[in-house]
Every structure is written in C-alpha cells, then in structure tokens.
Chains A and B, each alone.
Chain A
Amino acid sequence: MRRAKPELVPDDQPLALVESGRHGLTITAVNARAEAEGVHAGKALVEARAVLPQLRSLPADPERDGLELLALAQWCGRYGPRRHRHGADGIWIDVSGVAHLFGGEKELLADLVRRLQGFGFSPRAALADTLGAAHALARFGAMDARRPFVIAAPGGNDEALRALPVEALRLNPETVVTLKRLGLRRIGQLYDLPRASLARRFQDLAPSRARGSKARALTTDDEGLAAVMLRLDQARGVRAEPLPALGEPAHYGVRRSWPDPLISAEALDNEVRELAVALAHKLEKAGRGWRRLRLSLYRSDGTVAEAEAGTSIASRDVPHLMRLLGERLAGIDAGFGVDVAVLEALKVGRQMEGQDALGLDRRSGAGGHADDGLARLIDRLVNCLDGARVVTLTPRDSHIPERAEERRPAFDFAQRAAAGKEPAKSQPRHGARVRPALLLDPPEPISVVAEVPDGPPARFLWRRVVHRVVRATGPERIAPEWWREIGLAEDKRSRVRDYYRVEVAGGGSCWVFRAGLYGDESATRVPAWFLHGLFG
C-alpha cells in the first residue's frame, strides 16, 4: 500500500486498511501510529473509530498485495534458491548452505532486514531449523525494534519455542480456543503431555460443544488434535514438511557464436535473422510471443552492443522484427567483429490465435488484419523514433477538462484491442457541452477586464496582445473534485471555475475561465483568469 501510493499514506496520522466482512468493515492492517494508539487488526472499524476518531481508512486490496508479495518472494532469490510466500504477509526462504556467502547467519538476516526496510516494509525475520519454528519465532518471538530478527541455535528449536504462545503453531482459531480452554497456553506445555490423555481431554470437551451439530463437532476436534500434534512435530523437526518452492521464471533466449568474428553488415543481418527464427520456434513450443526483445552483440574486443525492440502485441513474426531492428542494427558498429550474439525475449505474452501468418494484404477482410496493420505501424513508430511518444486518447470520467481524457501509450491500446477489450465508446454528444479542439497545458494566465460578479470578459491581454471580445457565451461552472484534495491546505486546493467561450474581434474563439468567485469572502485568493483552449 505504501509503495503504490505514497501520498495517500500519511506518516503522522493513524491509518487502517479495511475490508468488508460479515459484520461490517473490519480492519485488516494498521500502521504504526494507529497501533500505538491501541487499534489492532481484527477490530471492527466502528469500534476503532469510537476509540480513535481521527483514524483514516482505505480499502484493502488483498489480490494486489498477494502479487506484490509474490514479486518480493521472487526477489528474495538472492538469499536462497527455494522460497515462496507464506500466508498473506510472509515469505519463507530456505537458506541452508547460504549463510557463509553473507558472512554468517546474523549478517544474512541483517542484510535482508535492512533491504526490506529500504523498500518501505517493516519486517520481522527469524532463522531456525524448521519452517514451523521460524514462523513461530518471526511472528511471536521477542525482538527489539532496531534489530528485528531472531536466530534459533541449531538444534535448539525446543528451547526457542518453549515460551511462545500456542497461536504460533499454524492452527485454526477454534483449535486455539480449545487449547486455551484446556489451559495450554504455551508451546512448552505441549511438549511433555501424553498424547492419549490429550485426546481424552479433547473428547471431553466435545459433548459440551456438540449441542450444535454433533457429529461434525467431534470430527473437528479429532482433526484439531491431529493438527496440533502435526504442527508441533513439524516445528520441533520430528516430522518433515514438504515445501513447494517458487519456480524460476522461464527464460527465452538463443545464443550463437562463430569461430570467425562477423564484420560485414549482411552477414550480421543474416545471422540475426537466423537467431530470430530459432527464438520464434522456441516460443512457439511454449505458445507465447515476444513483446520485448534484446539483442546483445559481443564483440571480440570485449565490448557489447545492445539493441532493444518492443512490439505492441505478442507476435512471432520474423520479417516484422527485422524491420524493427533493422535500422538499429545498421547503426551498430561491428568493431573488430562480433563473436557471440544473444537474442533474448525480455517480456513474453500469450500469442493471440490466428496471428501467425500476418498477411501482406492489409486492406482486405476481417478486423483481425486491420488490427495487425495498426499494431505494426505502432511498433514501427515507437521503435524507430527516439524520444517520440505515440499515444491514443481515451475518455475518463471526470468533469475537470484537463482530466477528462487520458493519454495512453499506444502499445496498450493495440494489445487491448487485439484481446477484444475495446475501449469504452466515447460519450454521446451533449448539446450544451462545447469543448475546444486544442487545450493548452497548463492554462495560461491572462489579464481580463470583465463585469463583476460573473460577466464574460470584455477585453483581455494574452501573449502581449490585447484582444477585444465581440461575443461570448457562458458561464459554465465546473466545481473541483473535492474528494481528491482532502487534506490539502486551503490555498493549494483548486477553485471553482467559470468557463466562457469568447470570440475576439477579427475572428478566432478561445475558451477562458475564471478560477474563484467574486464576492466570496471566505476565499483567501483573488479570482484569476486563464485561457485554457482554442476553438479556431
């Protein structure tokens, strides 16, 4: 949450993430300030607000959190080859045999914690012989704020776990309640209990709970007991726990080397074409197409030349790729000759059906071909122009004129159009809403002579020329979007705008607005006039 939208997460105010549950909005996460004030996860939002009225809340997004966690787990590959995310907010990493690379276990954990803190997280880390023990220590172990990690001595799991509460074993909440009712609050108490008597205790409790649904309660408790024993054994290392690890992302690349270095441009061109064919073949077996490629040419004097290209839809079309790379390739100096060439697909996408043979006849037939032509044009424009932007316009739901449309890179447009997700149709024309064809960004301030309180301008000075207004229509009042400016100081907020379409003597129409109202005593700023667009 903090990473995605830092401006929304105030450091000095309590904040909670809420999710709607069975009993209304419940808090799923709190920041440090809120926790200091006594608000914890699991409480209902209304109770928390009663305790702390200035608590701010934002909706939780567990899916996005999950994806971020997965990406972070992928990053943790630098600490060990086997790792995965664990639960909703944890990552486990198997670091057997890795610690010496970092100079010791303590240094490994210190490095990990420091980097995670640099990312903006507040981590708690623990190192132990088994996953269960590490989980328990990380969540419930005592740590100090400056060095939030704990290391259990090798073979010292039992000692480390003894003082931890039973929630640290990964159990159901009902089972935890049952254990607490039996008086077992610490894991240490579970060590020496004979299993048979424990089973009997669970059974004794069963009749009092079986007033609801009898058979089900019994099996739950039996399973509960088995689960407790399983988790305990796993944590102590008595029973093994299989851990599925995150796989490495697939890498699509081909490489070729030659005994005699290549110098001539045609030879290089031919070889790159061969490489592209081989990569296309490899991608075809995986059912994917490339979206972003990098060609690295390693010269015989040890230097590297790279060229990158991207396409707007996943494709395996070799001639198209050669056209995209062609000009870059021509500009690469082969130096003393190229020894090795590597072509790798940095980003792959699912290949849409029916696009293997991009026909030459672009004008005939179905929309599929027309979209291909557009995608290829976009590819050419984006890849072969340096510093140019290729954008498409999509409407956005907003009253503020400069926010009413969004300029998106054309890559996305082509991909979405190919996937069949058409952008929303533009709004039907409203008779009264007249908008200019050209919008100045940002609006230019002008000095205006106008009737107060809300008359159109009679004369204005723009770009050092005085224009006399012959005809005008308006005002059209556009209020600011207050929900986007909560928390801003009063003089930073946007003001109400009154828009006028004015025609100047000699022809030409402009769209001017006045920010602020005359006669508004509560405002601290004087109303100001701006020119926002040209009608032509």
Chain B
Amino acid sequence: MARAEVFAALQASIRRIERTSAGSALAARGRSVPWPAMPGPVALRGSDDVQGARWSLGAPEVDCLTGGLDASGLHEIKPAVPGPEMPAALGRAAAFTFALRLAARRLASDARNKAGAGQRACVLFCVPERDRLELGRLYGPGLAAFGLEARQFLIVETARAADTLWAMEEGLRSEVPAIVIGCLEDLPLTPARRLSLAAGQHSTPCIALTGARTPSAGATATRWRIGPAPTGSNSFDAKSPGSPACVAALERCRHRVGAGDLEPFTLEWCDETFRFRLAAAMADREIAARQAGTGA
C-alpha cells in the first residue's frame, strides 16, 4: 500500500537524520533497540569458540552483528564526546575498561584454542605519561574483576606519543604479547596502516584508545564509541551499584557493511563468567531477560 511505503520511507529518513549527529546517538539510552537480523556466518559454536582468528564478546547478539572481532586487526575505541554532565575522565575510563574487557576475552579464548602450544599470556599496555595524570594508572588488584591478573601485564610508560606508536609496533612484531593496547591521542592514516599491517602479519590483535574528538582512523577493523552507562541492578541491595555497564556504538566494521549504522546499545559485563551481556532498556529489562533466556 502506498501509505505504508510512505510511512516506512519517512521512518527511514528520520532514523538517518538522527543517526548523523554522533553526540545524540549516545543520548538515546533507554530506548529499546530494534535488532536487525544480519547475514553472515551465524553458527558461532557456543559463543566462545571462534573459527579461525576471531574472538567474541560473549553476547550472542553482538557476535552475530560483528561476526567476532578480528584477531589480526587493529580495533579503535573512542570514548563518548564529553558533555556538560559527563566529564572527559569518566568517558575515557569507560573506554579504557572496555578495552581491558576485550583483552580479557581475548586471553580467555586464546588459552582455550591454543592450550599447550606456546600460549602467550602477556598483555602489552602502552600509555603516555600525560594520561597517567588524568586517568590514573592501571591498578593490579582491580584487574580481578575482569578475569585478568596483574602479572600478565607489561606496561610501557612513554614520554611521547610517537614512542607509544613505536612500542605498540614493536610489541606486535615480536609476537610475544597476546594483545597490544595503546592509549594514543590521535591516529593518523599512515600509523594506523602500519599497525594494521603489523597486526595482520603477526596475528596479534591491537587495540588503540584514541581521543573523543579526534578524527577517526581509516584502517581499523572495527571502531567503537563507548560511554558510561548506569550499572545493572544489584539483586542483593537496591542501593548498591550492580554489574558494570557501558553504552557501545559500533561505528565501523570492515567486513560487515551496514553494521555501523546501528544505534548504540548497552552492554553489561558479568564478572563471574567474564562475558558481556546485552542489556535491554531499563523499562523492559526483565522482559528482555526472560525473553532472551541468556543472561550469564
């Protein structure tokens, strides 16, 4: 019917208009997310076994969307644009902890797949001195909530941004770390391509944490934009914070065209099974949990 088509066209154009402003995309929390059915390899056995060189986030919907994260690629994580109510540090902390959780997932899947054959359980973490003052330093005892141990980390604190890039590339080429994470201010095209090439040649994933407002690099396998979200409900005490959560927007996914057009969704992290979980909007969270039947 013509009316239905006109209506659908209007809805599509409204959605397109709303999506173009990146800041407001993250303000759309609490809306229930229409989840499209994406084509592609659907059979991810369990959600942990990834075929070939990919690792999963543990949430089946997100894995169907991305097809698993490429373990030989460069992934960029940007924090949400800071606003009057959200200071930069909280947004960056959210992005930072998201990267740590991805690293934990990577180490877990790496251990499962390559058990006994020279597994590398080392995370190389490169951070310039500046960020230490703003965000603080990585704290070993706090890593247990991610499923990581402090002795798996090798931390390089550099004086200049160019040194951070060099250290990340060195780590990728040495094939010693299981994953390389670096905090960079911005990532121009050439260094991004170098990192991407190095990651591909030596089969080591690389995560770059860039600034909120800097232009995005072009050579990344996936690009995420992460912002802080209210935590899940705590089943023991209504006044305590629950499981940590973040609002994630997948802005770019190289091998899945169209995955980047989705609205931001809320991911909760379960610190008992060390997996992500797609959290529905606050209003119908219980319904979604019952329907999905997933949870932990």
Which residue numbers of A lie inside 8 Å of B, CB to CB?
A: 362-365, 369-370, 373-374, 376-378, 380-381, 384-395, 401, 404-405, 407, 410, 423, 426-427, 429, 433-441, 462-463, 465, 470-473, 501-509, 533-536
A24 to B252, CA, bound (A): 73
B100 within 8 A of A: yes
Stretch at the interface among B45-53, B55-63, B241-249: B241-249
Q: Which residues of A contact B14 (CB under 8 A)?
A: none
A364 to B239, CA, bound (A): 51
* A388-B159, A533-B136 known; A439 vs B142 contact (CB < 8 Å): yes
Cross-chain contact B151 with A423 (CB below 8 angstroms):
yes
* A386-B159, A388-B163 known; A536 vs B97 contact (CB < 8 Å): yes
A-contact 0/1 string along B131-158, CB 8 Å cutoff: 0100111111111111001110111111
Size band of the interface chain B makes with A: 35 or more
Q: Which residues of B contact A374 (CB under 8 A)?
A: 122, 154, 176
Name the residue of chain A whose CB is nearest to the CB of B148. A437
Q: How far is the CB of A415 from chain B (nearest CB, A)?
A: 14
Q: How far is the CB of B119 from chain A (nearest CB, A)?
A: 8
6 smallest beta-carbon distances between A and B, as pairs: A536-B97, A507-B228, A508-B90, A508-B228, A435-B142, A473-B240
- The secondary structure that dominates the B interface is mixed
A502 to B151, CA, bound (A): 28
Cross-chain contact A373 with B175 (CB below 8 angstroms):
yes
B5 within 8 A of A: no
A470 to B132, CA, bound (A): 27
A506 to B247, CA, bound (A): 11
Cross-chain contact B138 with A438 (CB below 8 angstroms):
yes
Cross-chain contact B151 with A394 (CB below 8 angstroms):
yes
Cross-chain contact B94 with A385 (CB below 8 angstroms):
no
Cross-chain contact B85 with A506 (CB below 8 angstroms):
yes
Stretch at the interface among B33-41, B164-172, B214-222, B285-293: B164-172
Sampled A-B contacts (22; CB under 8 Å): A362-B118, A363-B175, A370-B120, A374-B154, A377-B176, A386-B159, A392-B155, A395-B150, A423-B151, A426-B140, A433-B141, A434-B145, A437-B143, A438-B93, A507-B86, A507-B90, A508-B90, A508-B94, A509-B231, A534-B90, A535-B244, A536-B96
* A394-B151, A438-B96, A470-B230 known; A385 vs B239 contact (CB < 8 Å): no
B229 within 8 A of A: yes
Contact of B228 among A381, A435, A462, A506 (CB under 8 A): A506
Name the residue of chain B whose CB is nearest to the CB of A471. B241
* A381-B167, A439-B142, A507-B247 known; A392 vs B137 contact (CB < 8 Å): no
Q: Which residues of A contact B231 (CB under 8 A)?
A: 471, 503, 507, 509
Q: How far is the CB of B161 from chain A (nearest CB, A)?
A: 12
A364 to B246, CA, bound (A): 38
Q: Which of B157, B177, B247 has the most CB of A within 10 A?
A: B157
Cross-chain contact B142 with A362 (CB below 8 angstroms):
no
* A388-B156, A388-B163, A508-B228 known; A533 vs B118 contact (CB < 8 Å): no
